[in-house]
Amino acid sequence: MVKLYIFYQLVPYFTAQRAVLHHILIHFTAQRAVLHHILIHFAAQRAVLLNANILKFCSKCGHEVTLKPVPDDHRPRYVCDNCETIHYQNPNIVTGALPIWEDKVMLCKRGIEPRKGYWNVPGGYMENGETVEAGAIREVYEETLSKITITSLHMVYSIPRINQVYMHFLADLQALDYQLTPESTEIKLFTEEEIPWDDIAFPSSKFTLKRYFEDRKKGIRQVHLGKFEW
């Protein structure tokens, strides 16, 4: 009986507490909704800031630009304060080829930064006005003075953090007439067993080599999709 009495005495107390709790929860739900929108806003900003090449001046009129929302767009853009030109920034394509000679592949030791002194699949930034395969042929020639015949697309590899897309082809080396260039301090043909795996310049090159030797064992060729995120 005493217990029941105490219980009835406590009911109003708990009801009041529950009402307070209820209001607190509503308050936090509203806060959470606001926070959610703020976080979405910052995520978009962060994506732009992390990935953008910071832009200060308009390339058309030289006036300062501001990073701001653009109507009907999903992320802020650099917009000129004067001529209102919207400066879109998009990834760069790095095109390259793995030159093949019998059971060997050609790698170049980088003579320039970044990753100077490390072995790499020859390649570089695609230029305006060329096809991606013409770019690969040009890059191999610039690095090794050797000519290749492209035989297939081997991989497409995204690095969203630094706005790069790699495209590597497989190619036949036309002759063993390669020569050193300012871009390559050493050029060498490697069998799979000879590949210096710890001294490969970039994850994209390692990806290309691994997939190439795997496919060769299976006797197939296919296009691989890869990515590097951190």
Which long-range contacts (C-beta less than 8 Å, at least 24 apart) are formed by 146-151? Answer: 146/99, 146/106, 146/173, 146/174, 146/175, 146/177, 146/178, 146/179, 147/173, 147/174, 147/175, 148/97, 148/99, 148/172, 148/173, 148/174, 149/174, 150/97
Count the helix, strand and coil residues of the chain and give each as a percent rounded to the nearest 5: 40, 30, 30
Q: How far is the CB of 67 from Zn ion (least distance, A)?
A: 14
State yes or no: cis peptide before 122, omega within 30 of 0. Answer: no
**Nearer of residues 22 and 63 to Zn ion, judged by Cβ:** 63
Can you give the binding site for Zn ion, defined by CB under 5 A? 58, 60-61, 63, 80, 82-83, 85
Q: How far is the CB of 80 from Zn ion (least distance, A)?
A: 3
**Nearer of residues 87 and 227 to Zn ion, judged by Cβ:** 87
**Nearer of residues 80 and 150 to Zn ion, judged by Cβ:** 80
Q: How far is the CB of 64 from Zn ion (least distance, A)?
A: 9
Q: How far is the CB of 73 from Zn ion (least distance, A)?
A: 18
Q: Cβ distance 58 to 66 under 8 Å?
A: no
Q: How far is the CB of 56 from Zn ion (least distance, A)?
A: 12
SS3 for 39?
helix
Distance set, CA 42 to CA 24, 50, 68, 169, 191 (Å): 26, 11, 12, 38, 49
Distance set, CA 154 to CA 99, 106, 113 (Å): 12, 15, 25
**Nearer of residues 29 and 59 to Zn ion, judged by Cβ:** 59
Distance between CA atoms of 201 and 50, rounded to whole angstroms?
Answer: 23
| CA-angle at 79, arms to 75 and 80, nearest 5° | 175
Q: How far is the CB of 55 from Zn ion (least distance, A)?
A: 11
Q: How far is the CB of 220 from Zn ion (least distance, A)?
A: 52
**Nearer of residues 29 and 82 to Zn ion, judged by Cβ:** 82
**Nearer of residues 78 and 119 to Zn ion, judged by Cβ:** 78
**Nearer of residues 53 and 179 to Zn ion, judged by Cβ:** 53
